[in-house]
Amino acid sequence: MRHHILMYCQHLLGVGHLYRFARLAAACVQSGFKVTVVAGGESVGQSLFEGCHWVQLPPIKVPDASFSELVTADGQSVSADYWQQRQHVLRETIKQTLPDVFLVEMYPFGRRAFRHELTPILAELKAGDACKVMCSLRDILVDKFVRDPQRQDWVVDQLQQYFDAVLVHGDENFIALQETFPAAERVSSQLYYTGYVGPEHDSQVSVAPQRQVVVSAGSGAVAEQMMMDLLAARPYSSVASWSWRFLLGPRSSHRLQQALAEADKEAGLGDIQVEGLRDDFVSLLAASGLSISQAGYNTVMDVLVAQCPALLLPFSNADETEQLLRAQRLAAAGYCHYAQPEQLSPQGLAQCIDNAVSLNPKSLPSPIKLGGQWQTVNFIKRWLNE
């Protein structure tokens, strides 16, 4: 009989969590598992989960990057009845699928507000003792939450009460969970490092890099400002005559698109190509002379697998240090260059571009363990066999 994995994912603003979860789901499907995905955000990622059964909860999102409140798809506050509707769908899905594994993305390390629907479900699964409960966790946690001792105590309590394991999709020798979750040693027996979850790419296919810069980011205000800064820096860089390809998210503003169109007409500079996000992103990077992006988990994995020179412009503030830490570690390994906030003037950013384009990551050993989706499958198989 095929084992059944129920995967719960709640994205709120971006879809990076969904992309990583989709890679995990694909590996599970290819390994012979039945997979049901329960999604709690806006329905934007169903096409990513080929071969999976998709269950959409009444969606919840955040209106902006402050994450200060949760709202429904039409912008209304989430009521008690709305939580009950979501919990009912989740409970019925469990009854119908009878999963062998319940894999929860981020919780309890993140998504704490969703304890209203998850804690009763987790308690029921624990009491039934027929299903392994596991947390799927990225490499770095958000600083403002996990450095609160009371928050750490609550996370440890949730893990000890309801979870069999925490699958950390990272490399302990690169960035240990202890660095951003100091209480990790209290649950060390539950932690398993899978390696990083990245895209599949045929590294045996050698592609000669083109004189092309690929700029990629999401659709938010931070991403737009990054692209505007790069347009200002481009004339001062050594690759100003190269072709520049900007990959825009679906909600990119008219202001940005107009600025790109005007920059494409500047005399003496290379052409600018504008397009949407691409399914062959890794292959595109592998054939390019430089990638410029932020330092989110999935984008960094794409860059590492493509082995192209890269400039990272990490998003960071007093509370959000995840991308900065990841970029700093990769730069220390010589695998990329990253820009400090004080380097974002046109001339300063141009110098960063020049430093990055001279890198040769193909000559370096990978700084991290990849293949996290397959090690995740191996862990699950082992637990089920035991």
DSSP assignment of 52-95? SEEEEPSPEE-SSTT----EETTSPBPPHHHHHHHHHHHHHHHH
In the chain, % of residues over pLDDT 70: 93
Only one residue has tokens 């000890």, namely 160
Q: Is 20 helix (H, G, I), strand (E, B) or coil?
A: helix
Per-residue model confidence as pLDDT tens digits over 337-376: 999 888 889 999 999 999 999 999 988 888 899 999 999 9
Q: Provide mean pLDDT across the span 243-272.
A: 88
68 band by pLDDT with thresholds 50, 70 and 90: confident
Alpha carbons 65 and 220: distance in angstroms, whole number: 9
Q: Residue 236 above 60 pLDDT?
A: yes
pLDDT at 350: 97
CA pair distance 268, 247, nearest whole angstrom: 22
Strand order in the sheet with 34-39: 53-56, 34-39, 4-9, 101-105, 132-137, 165-168, 191-193
* pLDDT at residue 214 tops 90: yes
Confirm if 78 and 40 have CB atoms less than 8 A apart: no
- The region of weakest confidence among 53-67, 257-271, 333-347 is 53-67
Rounded mean pLDDT, 294-314: 93
How far is C-alpha 352 from the chain's CA centre?
A: 24
pLDDT exceeds 70 at position 4: yes
Task: Decide which of 173 and 18 is more confident.
Answer: 173
> Above pLDDT 90, what percent of the chain?
70
With a cut of 50, say whether residue 282 has pLDDT above it: yes
Mean pLDDT in residue range 140-145? 77
Rounded Cα distance, 161 and 282, in Å: 40
Is the predicted pLDDT of residue 119 greater than 90, yes or no? yes
What is the rounded distance in angstroms from the CA atom of residue 30 to the CA atom of residue 374? 10
- State the chain's mean pLDDT as an integer: 90
The confidence score (pLDDT) of residue 203 equals: 55
Element (H, E) at 282: helix 281-286
Reported as a pLDDT band with limits 50, 70 and 90, residue 63 is confident
Q: If pLDDT is split at 50, 70 and 90, which confidence band does 278 have?
A: confident
Q: Give the separation between CA 59 and CA 48, rounded to whole angstroms.
A: 18
Residue 282 · residue 199 · CB < 8 Å: yes
pLDDT at 66 (0 to 100): 63
Measuring CA to CA, which residue among 114, 16, 23 is closest to residue 7? 23
Q: Which residues contact 277 (CB under 8 A, 6 or more apart)?
A: 216, 247, 248, 249, 250
List the structure tokens of 7: 């995967």
Residues in the chain, how many?
386
pTM of the complete model beyond 0.85: yes
Confidence of residue 204 (pLDDT cuts 50, 70, 90): very low
Q: Is the pLDDT of residue 41 over 90?
A: no
191 CB-side CA count, 13 A: 22
